[in-house]
Amino acid sequence: MKTVQKILGLIIVIGLSSCVSTKQFESVQGQLKKCNDELEQTRMTLEAANTELNSKNELLEKKNEDLNEQLGDALYKMNAQIQRVSALERQLADSQRQMEALKSGSSDEIENLLAELQTARENLNIREDRLREAEKELEERNERLIELQDILARKDQAVKDLKNKVMDALVGFNNKGLTVHEKNGKVYVSLEEKLLFQSGQWKVDPRGQEAIRQLSEVLAENPDINIMVEGHTDNVPMSGSGAVKDNWDLSVMRATAVTKILTQNSAIDPSRVIAAGRSEYVPIASNETAEGRQMNRRTEIILTPKIDELLRIIEMN
């Protein structure tokens, strides 16, 4: 600053002088330039110092925030510990009050407490006994379930084996009015009317008798199979004046005729066989067409493995 003042004074002197030499003027300009350089250097130094101060201030503010956060966490943890200590103190106080009450209580009160404790123990023993019984019952049920599953598997296999045997025995009648299929754990042997009967008749034709007798050989070798013979008709009304007056009579007579041929085999116990007439009420096709009515005029021999063992297990449950 002193240098600047000297230069300013010199400029004033020069201005007052009427005659200034070039050398003196250049000297003044040099001093001015040096002064400006010093001022610029001073300004840059001050800016650098200011930047550094700002950076330090930001660091201090960040540290202050971190310290405040740590202080908050510490206060939160301290409060939580204080609450836990308070809870423990309350529990301790309750326990002490109970102990004091027990100490100061009468013998009757103590006996009542002991009686309640004994009752609770007895109830617990009863529940444990019931639990053991329930576990035992569950084990028994699981064993019966496994046995039941095994029987069902054997039954399903028996049905498949029976179907194969029937198909092998009646192979000569396939696609000639006879079909064999499995449904709902049963084997259905379906014989069309054309294979067994004349229209409106119930006497079995020789070709049909041959098929039934071959089937009876298979059934004779499988005594654990129940047999139901069902007669079916279409919905065309039948009127007659003899033994057969309508479709009900016709379906029953046809089922009975087939049953009699089956039971001619002495190895088939008649108690295994049921004959039933279903008339027109269980169609498998539409009665609106000739083809559908032909399919509905049929006799079905339904073969079912005996399930006595299965029923026994179910009754046990």
What domains does the chain contain, in order, with CATH numbers? 158-315 (3.30.1330.60)
Residues contacting residue 304 through CB under 8 Å, at least 6 positions apart: 185, 186, 187, 225, 226, 228
What does pTM read for this prediction? 0.54
Q: Which residue has the higher pLDDT, 100 or 193?
A: 193
H, E, C per residue of 222-238: CCCEEEEEEEECCCCCC
* Report for 127-141, 151-165, 194-208: range of highest mean pLDDT: 194-208
pLDDT at 94 over 80: no
Q: What percent of the chain is predicted at pLDDT more than 90?
A: 32
Contact between 262 and 189 under an 8 Å Cβ cutoff? The reply is no
Contact between 177 and 192 under an 8 Å Cβ cutoff? The reply is yes
Determine the Cα–Cα distance for residues 238 and 280; give it in Å rounded to an integer. Answer: 11
Q: Tell me what the mean pLDDT of segment 54-58 comes to.
A: 79
Q: Which residue has the higher pLDDT, 209 or 171?
A: 209
pLDDT at 299 over 50: yes
pLDDT tens per residue across span 172-219: 787 788 999 998 889 999 999 999 999 889 999 999 999 999 999 999
Report DSSP state, residue 209: H
Q: Is 221 in a helix, a strand, or coil?
A: coil
Buried b / exposed e along 2-28 (16+ C-beta atoms within 10 A) = eeeeebeeeeeeeeeeeeeeeeeeeeb
Q: Tell me what the mean pLDDT of segment 106-122 comes to.
A: 80
Work out the burial of residue 194: count CB atoms within 10 Å of its CB; fewer than 13 is exposed, 13-18 middle, 19 or more buried: middle
Q: What is the mean pLDDT of the chain?
A: 82
pLDDT at 283 over 90: yes
Residue 278 pLDDT: 96
pLDDT tens per residue across span 9-39: 555 555 555 445 787 777 877 888 888 888 8
Residue 148 pLDDT: 72
Residue 200 pLDDT: 87
Determine the Cα–Cα distance for residues 248 and 129; give it in Å rounded to an integer. Answer: 61
pLDDT at 285 over 90: yes
pLDDT at 310 over 50: no
Residue 136 pLDDT: 82
pLDDT at 223 over 50: yes
Q: Which residue has the higher pLDDT, 173 or 289?
A: 289
Q: What percent of the chain is predicted at pLDDT more than 70?
A: 86
The structure tokens 């039934």 sit at: 212
Residues contacting residue 196 through CB under 8 Å, at least 6 positions apart: 177, 204, 205, 208, 254, 258, 299
Contact between 254 and 197 under an 8 Å Cβ cutoff? The reply is yes
How far are the Cα atoms of 48, 300, 305 from residue 212, in angstroms, in the given order? 118, 11, 19
pLDDT classification of 291: cutoffs 50, 70, 90? very high
Sign of CA dihedral 108, 114, 120, 126: negative
Residue 139 pLDDT: 82
Q: Which of 135-139, 150-154, 176-180 has the lowest mean pLDDT?
A: 150-154
Amino acid identity of 35?
Answer: C
Q: Tell me what the mean pLDDT of segment 301-308 comes to.
A: 82
The secondary structure of 228-292 as a DSSP string is EEEEE--SS----SSS--SHHHHHHHHHHHHHHHHTTSTTS-GGGEEEEE-TTSS-SS-TTSHHH
Residue 268 pLDDT: 94
